[in-house]
Structure 1
Amino acid sequence: MAFSLGPRAISAGYRLAAFDQIGSTNTEAMSCARDGVSGPMWFVTSEQTAGRGRRHRPWIAPRGNLAASVLEVIDVWPSIAATLGFAAGLALEVALRKVSLETSLRLAGSDQMKFFLKWPNDVLAGRQKLAGILLEAEAVASSRLAVVVGIGANVVAAPEGTSMPATSLAALGIRISAQELFTELSDAWAELRGIWDNGRGFGEIRQRWLARAAGLGEKVAIHTGGTTVEGTFDTLDEAGCMIVRTAEGRRVAIAAGDVYFGEAASTGAT
Protein backbone atom coordinates (compact mmCIF):
# COMPACT_ATOMS: atom_id res chain seq x y z
CA MET A 1 0.00 0.00 0.00
CA ALA A 2 1.41 3.39 -1.00
CA PHE A 3 1.40 6.54 1.09
CA SER A 4 -1.16 9.10 0.00
CA LEU A 5 -2.50 12.43 1.20
CA GLY A 6 -6.05 12.76 2.41
CA PRO A 7 -8.57 14.89 0.48
CA ARG A 8 -8.40 17.83 2.91
CA ALA A 9 -4.60 17.90 2.65
CA ILE A 10 -4.76 17.82 -1.14
CA SER A 11 -7.29 20.66 -1.19
CA ALA A 12 -5.01 22.68 1.11
CA GLY A 13 -2.18 22.40 -1.41
CA TYR A 14 0.10 19.92 0.33
CA ARG A 15 2.58 17.87 -1.68
CA LEU A 16 4.06 14.50 -0.77
CA ALA A 17 7.47 12.84 -0.97
CA ALA A 18 7.32 9.20 0.12
CA PHE A 19 10.33 6.94 0.69
CA ASP A 20 10.68 3.20 1.07
CA GLN A 21 13.49 3.88 3.54
CA ILE A 22 15.31 7.03 4.63
CA GLY A 23 17.72 8.18 7.31
CA SER A 24 15.57 11.00 8.65
CA THR A 25 12.45 12.65 7.24
CA ASN A 26 13.25 15.79 9.24
CA THR A 27 16.72 16.01 7.71
CA GLU A 28 15.31 15.53 4.21
CA ALA A 29 12.64 18.17 4.76
CA MET A 30 15.09 20.78 6.06
CA SER A 31 17.52 20.03 3.23
CA CYS A 32 14.75 20.70 0.73
CA ALA A 33 13.90 23.96 2.51
CA ARG A 34 17.52 25.10 2.18
CA ASP A 35 17.30 24.28 -1.54
CA GLY A 36 14.31 26.57 -1.94
CA VAL A 37 11.34 24.24 -1.47
CA SER A 38 8.71 26.40 0.20
CA GLY A 39 6.18 23.76 1.15
CA PRO A 40 3.73 22.95 2.39
CA MET A 41 5.02 19.43 1.88
CA TRP A 42 5.06 16.07 3.66
CA PHE A 43 8.04 13.68 3.77
CA VAL A 44 7.08 10.20 4.90
CA THR A 45 8.43 6.67 5.29
CA SER A 46 7.62 3.44 7.08
CA GLU A 47 11.31 2.77 7.83
CA GLN A 48 13.58 5.46 9.27
CA THR A 49 17.16 4.51 10.13
CA ALA A 50 18.73 7.69 11.56
CA GLY A 51 15.94 9.74 13.09
CA ARG A 52 16.25 11.70 16.30
CA GLY A 53 14.04 12.97 19.06
CA ARG A 54 14.47 15.73 21.59
CA ARG A 55 18.01 16.42 22.83
CA HIS A 56 19.36 14.39 19.91
CA ARG A 57 18.05 11.11 21.31
CA PRO A 58 17.80 8.46 18.58
CA TRP A 59 14.38 7.77 17.08
CA ILE A 60 14.52 4.70 14.88
CA ALA A 61 11.38 3.64 13.03
CA PRO A 62 11.57 -0.05 12.12
CA ARG A 63 9.70 -1.05 9.00
CA GLY A 64 5.99 -0.68 9.54
CA ASN A 65 6.15 2.26 11.93
CA LEU A 66 5.39 5.81 10.79
CA ALA A 67 7.97 8.56 10.42
CA ALA A 68 6.62 11.72 8.82
CA SER A 69 7.72 15.34 8.63
CA VAL A 70 5.80 18.32 7.34
CA LEU A 71 7.56 21.40 6.00
CA GLU A 72 5.96 24.81 6.45
CA VAL A 73 7.78 27.99 5.38
CA ILE A 74 6.13 30.87 7.22
CA ASP A 75 6.56 34.48 8.33
CA VAL A 76 6.49 34.17 12.12
CA TRP A 77 8.90 34.57 15.02
CA PRO A 78 10.56 31.34 16.25
CA SER A 79 8.75 31.66 19.60
CA ILE A 80 5.41 31.60 17.77
CA ALA A 81 6.50 28.76 15.48
CA ALA A 82 7.24 26.67 18.59
CA THR A 83 3.52 26.58 19.42
CA LEU A 84 2.89 24.68 16.18
CA GLY A 85 3.94 21.55 18.06
CA PHE A 86 0.71 21.65 20.03
CA ALA A 87 -1.28 21.65 16.78
CA ALA A 88 0.78 18.64 15.70
CA GLY A 89 -0.06 16.76 18.88
CA LEU A 90 -3.74 17.46 18.40
CA ALA A 91 -3.61 16.38 14.75
CA LEU A 92 -2.00 13.09 15.65
CA GLU A 93 -4.47 12.47 18.47
CA VAL A 94 -7.36 13.10 16.06
CA ALA A 95 -5.87 10.69 13.50
CA LEU A 96 -5.29 8.02 16.15
CA ARG A 97 -8.86 8.27 17.38
CA LYS A 98 -10.19 7.83 13.86
CA VAL A 99 -8.12 4.76 13.04
CA SER A 100 -8.81 3.18 16.42
CA LEU A 101 -12.55 3.83 16.55
CA GLU A 102 -13.53 0.33 15.48
CA THR A 103 -11.20 -1.27 18.01
CA SER A 104 -12.35 1.11 20.75
CA LEU A 105 -15.96 0.08 20.20
CA ARG A 106 -15.00 -3.58 20.28
CA LEU A 107 -13.15 -3.12 23.57
CA ALA A 108 -15.99 -1.04 25.04
CA GLY A 109 -13.90 2.01 25.81
CA SER A 110 -10.87 0.33 27.36
CA ASP A 111 -8.48 2.79 29.04
CA GLN A 112 -5.79 1.59 26.66
CA MET A 113 -7.71 3.15 23.79
CA LYS A 114 -7.65 6.67 25.26
CA PHE A 115 -4.95 8.95 23.88
CA PHE A 116 -3.45 11.83 25.81
CA LEU A 117 -1.03 14.64 25.03
CA LYS A 118 2.02 14.83 27.27
CA TRP A 119 3.74 18.19 27.43
CA PRO A 120 5.60 19.20 25.43
CA ASN A 121 5.65 16.71 22.56
CA ASP A 122 4.44 13.16 23.22
CA VAL A 123 1.23 11.27 22.56
CA LEU A 124 0.36 8.59 25.10
CA ALA A 125 -1.93 5.59 25.09
CA GLY A 126 -2.91 5.46 28.74
CA ARG A 127 0.45 6.04 30.45
CA GLN A 128 2.61 4.59 27.69
CA LYS A 129 4.35 6.57 24.96
CA LEU A 130 2.89 5.92 21.52
CA ALA A 131 4.35 8.79 19.49
CA GLY A 132 6.74 11.70 19.65
CA ILE A 133 7.00 15.08 17.92
CA LEU A 134 10.10 17.12 17.10
CA LEU A 135 10.11 20.70 15.77
CA GLU A 136 13.07 22.22 14.00
CA ALA A 137 13.29 25.72 12.51
CA GLU A 138 15.80 27.55 10.36
CA ALA A 139 15.83 30.93 8.62
CA VAL A 140 15.71 30.66 4.82
CA ALA A 141 15.51 33.09 1.90
CA SER A 142 13.51 36.31 2.24
CA SER A 143 13.85 36.15 6.04
CA ARG A 144 11.19 33.48 6.26
CA LEU A 145 11.27 30.60 8.71
CA ALA A 146 11.37 26.98 7.56
CA VAL A 147 9.62 24.92 10.21
CA VAL A 148 9.82 21.13 10.07
CA VAL A 149 7.46 19.17 12.31
CA GLY A 150 8.58 15.57 12.66
CA ILE A 151 6.11 12.95 13.88
CA GLY A 152 7.04 9.39 14.78
CA ALA A 153 4.36 6.86 15.72
CA ASN A 154 4.77 3.28 16.91
CA VAL A 155 2.44 1.43 14.57
CA VAL A 156 3.75 -2.15 14.61
CA ALA A 157 6.51 -2.03 17.25
CA ALA A 158 7.67 0.00 20.24
CA PRO A 159 11.26 0.52 21.40
CA GLU A 160 12.46 -1.35 24.47
CA GLY A 161 14.63 -0.09 27.30
CA THR A 162 13.34 3.47 27.12
CA SER A 163 13.07 5.74 30.16
CA MET A 164 9.31 5.86 29.67
CA PRO A 165 7.30 2.70 28.92
CA ALA A 166 6.32 2.62 25.25
CA THR A 167 3.64 0.79 23.31
CA SER A 168 2.46 0.39 19.72
CA LEU A 169 -0.89 0.36 17.97
CA ALA A 170 -0.40 -3.33 17.23
CA ALA A 171 0.15 -4.07 20.93
CA LEU A 172 -3.09 -2.23 21.66
CA GLY A 173 -4.94 -4.42 19.17
CA ILE A 174 -5.25 -1.70 16.52
CA ARG A 175 -4.42 -3.40 13.23
CA ILE A 176 -3.80 -0.59 10.78
CA SER A 177 -0.86 0.36 8.56
CA ALA A 178 1.46 3.35 8.68
CA GLN A 179 -0.05 4.38 5.35
CA GLU A 180 -3.59 4.42 6.74
CA LEU A 181 -2.52 6.44 9.77
CA PHE A 182 -0.63 8.92 7.61
CA THR A 183 -3.62 9.66 5.38
CA GLU A 184 -5.72 10.53 8.42
CA LEU A 185 -2.84 12.52 9.91
CA SER A 186 -2.38 14.61 6.76
CA ASP A 187 -6.04 15.64 6.82
CA ALA A 188 -6.07 16.34 10.55
CA TRP A 189 -2.91 18.43 10.16
CA ALA A 190 -4.45 20.52 7.39
CA GLU A 191 -7.40 21.29 9.67
CA LEU A 192 -5.38 22.05 12.82
CA ARG A 193 -2.74 24.02 10.90
CA GLY A 194 -5.56 26.17 9.57
CA ILE A 195 -6.90 26.77 13.06
CA TRP A 196 -3.40 27.64 14.34
CA ASP A 197 -3.18 30.24 11.55
CA ASN A 198 0.43 31.38 12.04
CA GLY A 199 -0.13 31.60 15.79
CA ARG A 200 -3.25 33.72 15.65
CA GLY A 201 -5.40 30.74 16.58
CA PHE A 202 -3.18 29.37 19.34
CA GLY A 203 -5.82 30.29 21.93
CA GLU A 204 -8.19 27.68 20.47
CA ILE A 205 -5.36 25.17 20.00
CA ARG A 206 -4.40 25.67 23.64
CA GLN A 207 -7.93 24.97 24.87
CA ARG A 208 -8.23 21.83 22.75
CA TRP A 209 -4.80 20.64 23.89
CA LEU A 210 -5.63 21.15 27.59
CA ALA A 211 -8.80 19.07 27.14
CA ARG A 212 -6.55 16.14 26.18
CA ALA A 213 -3.58 16.87 28.44
CA ALA A 214 -1.92 14.08 30.40
CA GLY A 215 -1.31 14.82 34.07
CA LEU A 216 -3.29 18.04 34.30
CA GLY A 217 -3.87 18.75 38.00
CA GLU A 218 -1.45 16.01 39.03
CA LYS A 219 1.84 16.07 40.88
CA VAL A 220 4.68 16.78 38.45
CA ALA A 221 8.45 17.10 38.41
CA ILE A 222 10.33 18.72 35.54
CA HIS A 223 14.04 18.11 35.12
CA THR A 224 15.76 20.77 33.04
CA GLY A 225 19.54 20.84 33.05
CA GLY A 226 20.62 20.51 36.67
CA THR A 227 17.37 21.95 38.03
CA THR A 228 14.19 20.21 39.16
CA VAL A 229 10.88 22.00 39.59
CA GLU A 230 8.17 20.16 41.53
CA GLY A 231 4.53 20.96 42.09
CA THR A 232 1.18 20.53 40.34
CA PHE A 233 0.59 20.82 36.59
CA ASP A 234 -1.69 23.84 36.66
CA THR A 235 -2.19 24.86 33.02
CA LEU A 236 -0.55 25.83 29.74
CA ASP A 237 0.14 29.54 29.21
CA GLU A 238 -0.31 31.64 26.08
CA ALA A 239 3.26 30.86 24.95
CA GLY A 240 2.93 27.08 25.39
CA CYS A 241 4.88 26.92 28.65
CA MET A 242 3.81 24.48 31.35
CA ILE A 243 2.67 26.33 34.46
CA VAL A 244 3.58 24.50 37.66
CA ARG A 245 2.10 25.52 41.00
CA THR A 246 4.64 24.79 43.73
CA ALA A 247 3.88 23.74 47.29
CA GLU A 248 4.52 27.35 48.32
CA GLY A 249 1.87 28.58 45.89
CA ARG A 250 4.23 30.05 43.30
CA ARG A 251 3.34 29.65 39.62
CA VAL A 252 6.45 28.72 37.63
CA ALA A 253 6.55 28.78 33.82
CA ILE A 254 8.56 25.91 32.30
CA ALA A 255 9.70 26.28 28.68
CA ALA A 256 11.46 22.91 28.29
CA GLY A 257 12.40 19.82 30.27
CA ASP A 258 11.75 16.15 30.99
CA VAL A 259 8.38 15.66 32.66
CA TYR A 260 7.47 13.06 35.29
CA PHE A 261 3.93 12.64 36.63
CA GLY A 262 2.40 10.97 39.68
CA GLU A 263 4.60 8.46 41.46
CA ALA A 264 7.31 9.01 38.87
CA ALA A 265 7.50 12.64 39.98
CA SER A 266 8.68 11.40 43.37
CA THR A 267 11.06 8.70 42.13
CA GLY A 268 12.45 10.74 39.21
CA ALA A 269 11.82 7.92 36.71
CA THR A 270 9.11 7.28 34.20
Structure 2
Amino acid sequence: MPRLPDGYSIAIFDSIDSTNEEARRNATDAADRTVYWAKRQTAGRGRRGRSWMSEPGNLFVSLLLKPDLPLAQAAQLSFVSALAVSDVLIKAGAGDRVALKWPNDVLVDGAKICGILLEASSTGARVDAMIVGMGLNLASHPADTPYAATDFANAGLGDVDPDTALTWLLEAFELRYAAWRDLGFASVRTDWLIRAYRLGQTIQVMLGDETVVGRFAELDKTGALVVETSPGVTRHITAGDVYFPGAI
Protein backbone atom coordinates (compact mmCIF):
# COMPACT_ATOMS: atom_id res chain seq x y z
CA MET A 1 0.00 0.00 0.00
CA PRO A 2 1.53 3.35 -1.01
CA ARG A 3 1.93 6.16 1.51
CA LEU A 4 -0.27 9.16 0.79
CA PRO A 5 0.56 12.81 1.41
CA ASP A 6 -1.79 14.66 3.75
CA GLY A 7 -5.07 15.51 2.07
CA TYR A 8 -4.98 12.64 -0.44
CA SER A 9 -7.31 9.64 -0.65
CA ILE A 10 -7.05 6.60 -2.91
CA ALA A 11 -9.25 4.14 -4.78
CA ILE A 12 -7.46 0.94 -5.86
CA PHE A 13 -8.55 -1.46 -8.61
CA ASP A 14 -7.15 -4.80 -9.69
CA SER A 15 -8.47 -4.10 -13.18
CA ILE A 16 -10.40 -1.21 -14.72
CA ASP A 17 -11.05 0.23 -18.16
CA SER A 18 -9.08 3.44 -17.51
CA THR A 19 -8.12 5.33 -14.38
CA ASN A 20 -8.86 8.59 -16.19
CA GLU A 21 -12.34 7.33 -17.05
CA GLU A 22 -12.95 6.33 -13.42
CA ALA A 23 -11.81 9.77 -12.27
CA ARG A 24 -14.12 11.36 -14.84
CA ARG A 25 -17.06 9.26 -13.66
CA ASN A 26 -16.49 10.49 -10.10
CA ALA A 27 -15.39 14.04 -10.88
CA THR A 28 -18.47 15.70 -9.41
CA ASP A 29 -18.72 13.83 -6.12
CA ALA A 30 -15.15 12.81 -5.28
CA ALA A 31 -12.91 15.00 -3.13
CA ASP A 32 -9.99 17.06 -4.36
CA ARG A 33 -6.77 15.01 -4.60
CA THR A 34 -8.43 11.63 -4.99
CA VAL A 35 -6.03 9.08 -6.49
CA TYR A 36 -7.28 6.32 -8.83
CA TRP A 37 -4.78 3.48 -9.14
CA ALA A 38 -5.21 0.31 -11.20
CA LYS A 39 -2.97 -2.74 -11.38
CA ARG A 40 -4.21 -3.25 -14.95
CA GLN A 41 -6.15 -1.21 -17.49
CA THR A 42 -8.23 -2.72 -20.28
CA ALA A 43 -8.74 0.53 -22.22
CA GLY A 44 -5.87 2.82 -21.27
CA ARG A 45 -5.60 6.00 -23.34
CA GLY A 46 -2.89 8.44 -24.30
CA ARG A 47 -3.11 11.82 -25.97
CA ARG A 48 -5.45 12.28 -28.93
CA GLY A 49 -7.28 9.03 -28.13
CA ARG A 50 -4.26 6.79 -28.70
CA SER A 51 -4.22 3.50 -26.82
CA TRP A 52 -1.79 3.07 -23.93
CA MET A 53 -0.23 -0.32 -23.22
CA SER A 54 -1.31 -1.34 -19.71
CA GLU A 55 0.66 -4.41 -18.74
CA PRO A 56 0.69 -5.51 -15.07
CA GLY A 57 3.81 -4.38 -13.23
CA ASN A 58 3.69 -0.83 -14.60
CA LEU A 59 2.08 2.14 -12.86
CA PHE A 60 -1.28 3.46 -14.01
CA VAL A 61 -2.66 6.31 -11.93
CA SER A 62 -4.91 9.33 -12.25
CA LEU A 63 -5.19 12.26 -9.87
CA LEU A 64 -8.48 14.11 -9.56
CA LEU A 65 -7.75 17.74 -8.71
CA LYS A 66 -10.05 20.69 -8.16
CA PRO A 67 -7.76 23.72 -8.45
CA ASP A 68 -10.50 26.28 -9.35
CA LEU A 69 -8.50 27.95 -12.11
CA PRO A 70 -9.05 29.08 -15.71
CA LEU A 71 -8.52 26.24 -18.18
CA ALA A 72 -5.39 27.75 -19.74
CA GLN A 73 -3.73 28.03 -16.34
CA ALA A 74 -4.82 24.55 -15.21
CA ALA A 75 -3.19 23.11 -18.35
CA GLN A 76 0.16 24.01 -16.79
CA LEU A 77 -0.33 20.93 -14.63
CA SER A 78 1.21 18.91 -17.47
CA PHE A 79 4.56 20.57 -16.70
CA VAL A 80 4.07 20.19 -12.94
CA SER A 81 3.35 16.48 -13.42
CA ALA A 82 6.28 15.92 -15.78
CA LEU A 83 8.65 17.51 -13.27
CA ALA A 84 7.27 15.26 -10.53
CA VAL A 85 7.88 12.16 -12.66
CA SER A 86 11.39 13.36 -13.48
CA ASP A 87 12.02 13.79 -9.75
CA VAL A 88 11.04 10.14 -9.26
CA LEU A 89 13.42 9.02 -11.99
CA ILE A 90 16.26 11.03 -10.50
CA LYS A 91 15.50 9.49 -7.09
CA ALA A 92 15.80 6.09 -8.79
CA GLY A 93 19.25 7.00 -10.10
CA ALA A 94 18.61 8.25 -13.64
CA GLY A 95 20.37 11.57 -13.02
CA ASP A 96 20.97 13.69 -16.10
CA ARG A 97 19.70 10.91 -18.35
CA VAL A 98 16.21 12.30 -17.70
CA ALA A 99 14.68 14.78 -20.14
CA LEU A 100 11.26 16.34 -20.69
CA LYS A 101 9.63 16.45 -24.13
CA TRP A 102 6.98 19.08 -24.77
CA PRO A 103 4.21 19.01 -23.83
CA ASN A 104 4.02 16.05 -21.46
CA ASP A 105 6.40 13.14 -22.11
CA VAL A 106 9.22 12.06 -19.81
CA LEU A 107 12.30 10.43 -21.35
CA VAL A 108 15.31 8.47 -20.18
CA ASP A 109 18.21 8.31 -22.64
CA GLY A 110 15.88 9.85 -25.22
CA ALA A 111 13.30 7.07 -24.89
CA LYS A 112 9.79 7.57 -23.53
CA ILE A 113 9.27 6.11 -20.06
CA CYS A 114 6.13 7.99 -19.03
CA GLY A 115 3.16 9.59 -20.71
CA ILE A 116 0.85 12.15 -19.11
CA LEU A 117 -2.75 12.82 -20.13
CA LEU A 118 -4.65 15.85 -18.82
CA GLU A 119 -8.42 16.05 -19.13
CA ALA A 120 -10.59 18.86 -17.80
CA SER A 121 -14.19 19.04 -16.67
CA SER A 122 -15.65 22.53 -16.90
CA THR A 123 -19.08 24.13 -16.96
CA GLY A 124 -17.87 27.67 -17.52
CA ALA A 125 -14.73 29.73 -17.73
CA ARG A 126 -13.11 27.92 -14.80
CA VAL A 127 -12.18 24.27 -14.39
CA ASP A 128 -14.45 22.23 -12.13
CA ALA A 129 -12.03 19.28 -12.09
CA MET A 130 -8.72 18.41 -13.69
CA ILE A 131 -7.70 14.80 -14.20
CA VAL A 132 -3.98 14.07 -14.44
CA GLY A 133 -3.36 10.58 -15.81
CA MET A 134 0.15 9.14 -15.68
CA GLY A 135 1.45 5.89 -17.11
CA LEU A 136 4.94 5.02 -15.91
CA ASN A 137 6.78 2.06 -17.44
CA LEU A 138 8.37 0.13 -14.58
CA ALA A 139 8.69 -3.47 -15.74
CA SER A 140 7.97 -3.34 -19.48
CA HIS A 141 7.44 -1.05 -22.44
CA PRO A 142 5.84 -1.34 -25.88
CA ALA A 143 8.07 -2.45 -28.73
CA ASP A 144 5.96 -1.35 -31.70
CA THR A 145 5.84 2.41 -31.19
CA PRO A 146 6.88 5.07 -33.73
CA TYR A 147 9.30 6.44 -31.12
CA ALA A 148 11.82 4.86 -28.76
CA ALA A 149 10.41 3.62 -25.45
CA THR A 150 11.92 2.19 -22.29
CA ASP A 151 11.15 1.17 -18.71
CA PHE A 152 12.85 1.17 -15.31
CA ALA A 153 14.23 -2.34 -15.71
CA ASN A 154 15.46 -1.77 -19.26
CA ALA A 155 17.07 1.54 -18.28
CA GLY A 156 18.93 -0.06 -15.37
CA LEU A 157 16.94 1.78 -12.69
CA GLY A 158 16.31 -1.30 -10.61
CA ASP A 159 13.25 -3.34 -9.70
CA VAL A 160 10.85 -0.66 -8.46
CA ASP A 161 7.38 -1.98 -7.67
CA PRO A 162 4.22 0.06 -8.34
CA ASP A 163 3.56 0.66 -4.61
CA THR A 164 6.97 2.25 -4.15
CA ALA A 165 6.78 4.20 -7.41
CA LEU A 166 3.37 5.60 -6.48
CA THR A 167 4.59 6.65 -3.03
CA TRP A 168 7.53 8.49 -4.61
CA LEU A 169 5.33 10.01 -7.30
CA LEU A 170 2.69 11.37 -4.93
CA GLU A 171 5.34 12.85 -2.64
CA ALA A 172 7.06 14.54 -5.60
CA PHE A 173 3.80 15.69 -7.13
CA GLU A 174 2.55 17.33 -3.93
CA LEU A 175 5.80 19.29 -3.57
CA ARG A 176 5.66 20.47 -7.18
CA TYR A 177 1.91 21.17 -7.00
CA ALA A 178 2.26 23.24 -3.83
CA ALA A 179 5.12 25.27 -5.33
CA TRP A 180 3.08 25.96 -8.47
CA ARG A 181 0.05 27.06 -6.46
CA ASP A 182 2.11 29.28 -4.16
CA LEU A 183 4.69 30.70 -6.58
CA GLY A 184 3.07 30.47 -9.99
CA PHE A 185 4.33 29.06 -13.28
CA ALA A 186 7.65 30.93 -13.46
CA SER A 187 9.58 28.50 -11.26
CA VAL A 188 7.96 25.50 -12.97
CA ARG A 189 8.98 26.91 -16.36
CA THR A 190 12.57 27.44 -15.20
CA ASP A 191 12.92 23.91 -13.83
CA TRP A 192 11.24 22.36 -16.88
CA LEU A 193 13.58 24.16 -19.29
CA ILE A 194 16.61 22.86 -17.38
CA ARG A 195 15.46 19.33 -18.28
CA ALA A 196 14.00 20.14 -21.72
CA TYR A 197 14.83 17.64 -24.46
CA ARG A 198 16.65 19.09 -27.49
CA LEU A 199 16.27 22.72 -26.38
CA GLY A 200 17.84 24.95 -29.02
CA GLN A 201 17.73 22.27 -31.71
CA THR A 202 15.59 21.79 -34.79
CA ILE A 203 12.15 20.29 -34.21
CA GLN A 204 9.06 19.42 -36.23
CA VAL A 205 5.62 20.13 -34.78
CA MET A 206 2.63 18.39 -36.33
CA LEU A 207 -0.50 20.59 -36.19
CA GLY A 208 -3.16 18.55 -37.92
CA ASP A 209 -2.56 19.24 -41.62
CA GLU A 210 0.34 21.64 -40.99
CA THR A 211 3.94 20.92 -40.03
CA VAL A 212 5.98 23.66 -38.35
CA VAL A 213 9.76 23.30 -38.59
CA GLY A 214 12.19 25.45 -36.66
CA ARG A 215 14.43 25.83 -33.64
CA PHE A 216 13.03 24.94 -30.21
CA ALA A 217 13.65 28.36 -28.66
CA GLU A 218 11.89 28.20 -25.28
CA LEU A 219 8.59 28.03 -23.43
CA ASP A 220 6.70 31.26 -23.09
CA LYS A 221 5.30 32.42 -19.75
CA THR A 222 2.10 30.41 -20.27
CA GLY A 223 3.78 27.11 -21.27
CA ALA A 224 3.34 27.46 -25.03
CA LEU A 225 6.13 26.06 -27.19
CA VAL A 226 8.12 28.81 -28.92
CA VAL A 227 9.53 27.78 -32.31
CA GLU A 228 11.84 30.07 -34.25
CA THR A 229 10.89 29.36 -37.87
CA SER A 230 13.40 31.85 -39.31
CA PRO A 231 15.75 34.39 -37.73
CA GLY A 232 13.66 36.67 -35.53
CA VAL A 233 10.34 35.00 -36.47
CA THR A 234 8.64 32.78 -33.88
CA ARG A 235 5.47 30.73 -33.52
CA HIS A 236 3.82 30.13 -30.12
CA ILE A 237 2.18 26.71 -30.18
CA THR A 238 -0.25 25.50 -27.51
CA ALA A 239 -1.04 22.03 -28.89
CA GLY A 240 0.75 19.66 -31.24
CA ASP A 241 3.00 16.63 -31.59
CA VAL A 242 6.75 17.28 -31.49
CA TYR A 243 9.28 15.21 -33.42
CA PHE A 244 13.03 15.51 -33.75
CA PRO A 245 14.84 14.73 -37.00
CA GLY A 246 16.83 11.55 -36.45
CA ALA A 247 15.37 10.97 -32.98
CA ILE A 248 11.87 10.54 -31.53
- TM-score range for the pair, normalised by the shorter chain length: over 0.9
Query: Contact 1:159 / 1:166 at 8 angstroms: preserved in 2?
Result: yes
The alpha carbon displacement at 1:82 in A equals 0.4
The alpha carbon displacement at 1:261 in A equals 1.7
**Unmatched runs of 5 consecutive residues or more in structure 2:** none
- 1:29 alignment partner AA: A
Distance 2:184 2:231 in 1: 33
Distance 1:24 1:42 in 2: 13
Distance 2:163 2:110 in 1: 25
Query: Contact 2:70 / 2:127 at 8 angstroms: preserved in 1?
Result: no
The answer for the alignment partner of 2:68 in structure 1 is 75
Distance 1:163 1:148 in 2: 26
Query: Contact 2:88 / 2:165 at 8 angstroms: preserved in 1?
Result: yes
- 2:147 alignment partner AA: M
- 1:43 alignment partner AA: Y
TM-score with structure 1 setting the length: 0.86
Matches within 5 A, 1:38-117: 38-98=31-91, 100-101=92-93, 114-117=97-100
Distance 2:237 2:36 in 1: 31
Mean Cα deviation higher: 128-137 or 160-169: 160-169
Let me know the Cα RMSD of the aligned residues. Answer: 1.7
Q: 1:17 aligns with which of 8, 11, 14?
A: 11
The answer for the alignment partner of 1:205 in structure 2 is 188
Query: Contact 1:124 / 1:130 at 8 angstroms: preserved in 2?
Result: yes
Higher helix share: 1
**Unmatched runs of 5 consecutive residues or more in structure 1:** 265-269
Q: 1:191 aligns with which of 159, 175, 180?
A: 175
Query: Contact 1:18 / 1:44 at 8 angstroms: preserved in 2?
Result: yes
Distance 2:24 2:180 in 1: 21
Q: 1:221 aligns with which of 204, 208, 213?
A: 204
TM-score with structure 2 setting the length: 0.94
Query: Contact 2:120 / 2:127 at 8 angstroms: preserved in 1?
Result: no
Distance 1:246 1:144 in 2: 33
> Is 1:168 paired with 2:162?
no
Distance 1:33 1:256 in 2: 24
Query: Contact 1:96 / 1:181 at 8 angstroms: preserved in 2?
Result: no
Distance 1:161 1:249 in 2: 39
The answer for the alignment partner of 1:179 in structure 2 is 163
Distance 1:81 1:92 in 2: 18
